Amino acid sequence: MTTLKLDTVTHYINGEKVKGNNDKYGFVYSPSTGKRIAAVPYASAEEVDETVQLAKKAAAKWAKTSVGKRVEVLFKFRQLLVENTDELAQLIGKENGKTISDAKGEISRGIESVDLAIGAPQILKGEHSVNVGGDINAYSMKQPLGVVTCISPFNFPVMVPLAMSVMAVAVGNAMILKPSEKVPYSAQLISELWEKAGLPAGVWNVLNGDKDTVNAIITHSDIQAVSFVGSTKVAEIIYEVGTKHHKRVNAFGGGKNHLVIMPDADIDKAVDSFLGSAYGSASQRCMAVSVAMPVGQKTADVFTAKLKEKVENLRPGSYDDESADFGAVISAEAKQSILHSIDEAVRDGANVVVDGRNPDVEFKEGFYLGATLLDNVTPDMNVYKEEVFGPARTIVSVDSIDEAIQLINNHQYGNGVAIFTNSGRDARKFTQEIEVGMVGVNVPIPIPVGYHNFGGWKGSRLGEGQMFGPDTARFFTKTKTVSERWFDQSSTDEINFDFPSS
C-alpha cells in the first residue's frame, strides 16, 4: 500500500513529486477536527508554463501510442484504484470530512468512469463511406487535442477528477489537474497510482493552487480545453475567460434540486429517499436534493410530519465514526455561510421545523452542522433562490403538478430534479415538460451511471460538453474528415469549375 504523510503536499509534474518554488501557499484543514493538517503550495505562472511545456512533449508521444496500449495502462490503473480503495477513502475522510462509507461510494462511481474509458477503442472509431462520388472514399478520425486541464471541486476529491480526466487520457491527451486546494491529498495518491500503472511521465500532472494558478492555466496558449466543476459564480468566470482565450470549455456550476411528492406517492419511500439525498455528505453535493415540494396540503402535512421525525434523529460526526449519518462541512467559512442562510430565511418568515445549528458533537472545533429543515419557504426567499451548500433543506408546498413544473422551470438552476409518484401519466408529463438536465422518477439523486452523459441545464452548466459518458470523448477530441481518391494511370480528368457534388 502507498503511504502518504499528512504533513507534506506536493505538485506532481512530469512523473515526479515537486515541492514547488513559489512562496505562496495555503493551509489544509481537517473538517472533522478543525485542525490544520498541512500547507499546500500554490503554483506560479512560471510553474504552470513549465508543466504545460513538459505535458506538451508527453502528449505528442502519447497521442502516437496505440489505443490498445493506452487501455492496458487503464486496466492496471483500475485495479490499483480497487486495491487502494480503503486508503483513498481514509484520505477523502481526512481532507473532506465525509464518512468512510460515503467516500467508498464516491470511489466506486469514479471507477465507472475508468470502465467507460477502457472502451476507448470502440468510442474512437470513425466513419467510412466508399465512393461518395468520383471514386472518392470519405472517412473521419478522432484525434486528441493535446494538453487539456480539469479544475475539480472539494466535494468529490476522487470521483469528479476521475470523471473529468480519465477519458481525456484514454483518447490521447496529456492532463493537468488542478484539484481544490482544500483537498490535495487524494490527487497525490491518484498520481502515484497512475505512475504504478505505467502511464508515461508528463501525461498526468497535478498543480495545486488558487485563483492565480487557475488564471495562469485557463489563459495559457498551449492548453486546448478546460473542464471545471464548482460554483456557478466561478463557472461563469472560467467559461468567459477560457472561451475568450479560444479554449474549449465546459463549466459545471451549482444546483437547486427539487423533489416533487405527488398525492399518490408512497410517502414513506419519499421521506426516506429525501433524507439520504438531501443530507448525505452534509448536503455538499451539486445533485443533493435542496427542496421538498409536496403537492397539495394533505400531502404536505403528512410528508412534513414524517420527515420531521426522521430528520430529528440524524447525527453528524467524524468521518471515521461509523454511527454518523454524515460528516462536517468543508470549512469554517462554509459553516458560517450556511448559518447565515438559515438565519436570513427565519427573518424572511420561514419556520424552523428542525434546528441543526448547534449540534452535539465530539470534536467541538470541527466544522459541524446538524440537519436543519425549514418550512413555509416561498420562492422569493434567498434560501430558495440560491444554492445552500450544507445541511439546510427547505419545504415549498404547491397546489398542483403544473405549479411545481412552472416553479422549477423558472429557477435559475437546472441540474437535477425528481418526482415521486405512482402515476405513469404524471411521470410522463413531468419528464417531458421539466427544463432540467437530469430527471429522476422515484429516484432521488438522478446521477447517471458512468456510461451515460452528465450535465445540467440553465445556470448549472456553461458549454456543451458532458462530465460522464461518451460525450467526454467528443469533448476531448477533434474530428478530422478525409476525402481520398487514388488515380488510375489511364484515367484523365477535365478541369471543372463547378462546386463539387456527388
pLDDT of the residue at 3: 42
Tell me if 389 sits within 8 A of 97, measured CB to CB: no
The per-residue pLDDT for range 63-98, each reduced to its tens digit, is: 999 999 999 999 999 999 999 999 999 999 999 999
- Residue 182, C-beta contacts closer than 8 angstroms, at least 6 positions apart: 28, 29, 95, 96, 154, 330, 331
Backbone angles phi, psi at 480, to 5 degrees: -115, 130
Residue 286 appears among annotated catalytic residues = yes
The per-residue pLDDT for range 466-479, each reduced to its tens digit, is: 777 888 999 999 99
- Percent of the chain surpassing pLDDT 70: 98
Start-to-end C-alpha separation, the chain: 62
461-486 in b/e form (b: 16+ CB < 10 A) is: bbbebbbbbbbbbbbbbeeeeeeeee
Strands (E) across 253-326 are located at: 257-261, 289-294
Report residue 498's pLDDT band, with 50, 70 and 90 as the boundaries: confident
Q: What's the mean pLDDT in 132-159? A: 94
**Residue 451 above 80 pLDDT?**
no
Q: Of 70-74, 216-220, 386-390, 490-494, which gets the smallest average pLDDT? A: 490-494
The per-residue pLDDT for range 325-383, each reduced to its tens digit, is: 999 999 999 999 999 999 999 999 999 999 999 999 989 999 999 999 999 999 999 99
Please tell me the distance from the alpha carbon of residue 215 to that of residue 80, in angstroms, as a whole number.
33
Tell me if 323 sits within 8 A of 317, measured CB to CB: yes
Does pTM surpass 0.85? yes
**Per the residue annotation, which of 91, 286, 289, 396 is the catalytic one?**
286
Domains of the chain: 11-253+460-482 (3.40.605.10), 257-441 (3.40.309.10)
The per-residue pLDDT for range 184-202, each reduced to its tens digit, is: 999 999 999 999 999 999 9
Q: What's the mean pLDDT in 438-462? A: 85
**Residue 2 above 50 pLDDT?**
no
Mean pLDDT of the chain: 94
pLDDT of the residue at 112: 94
Please tell me the distance from the alpha carbon of residue 374 to that of residue 140, in angstroms, as a whole number.
55
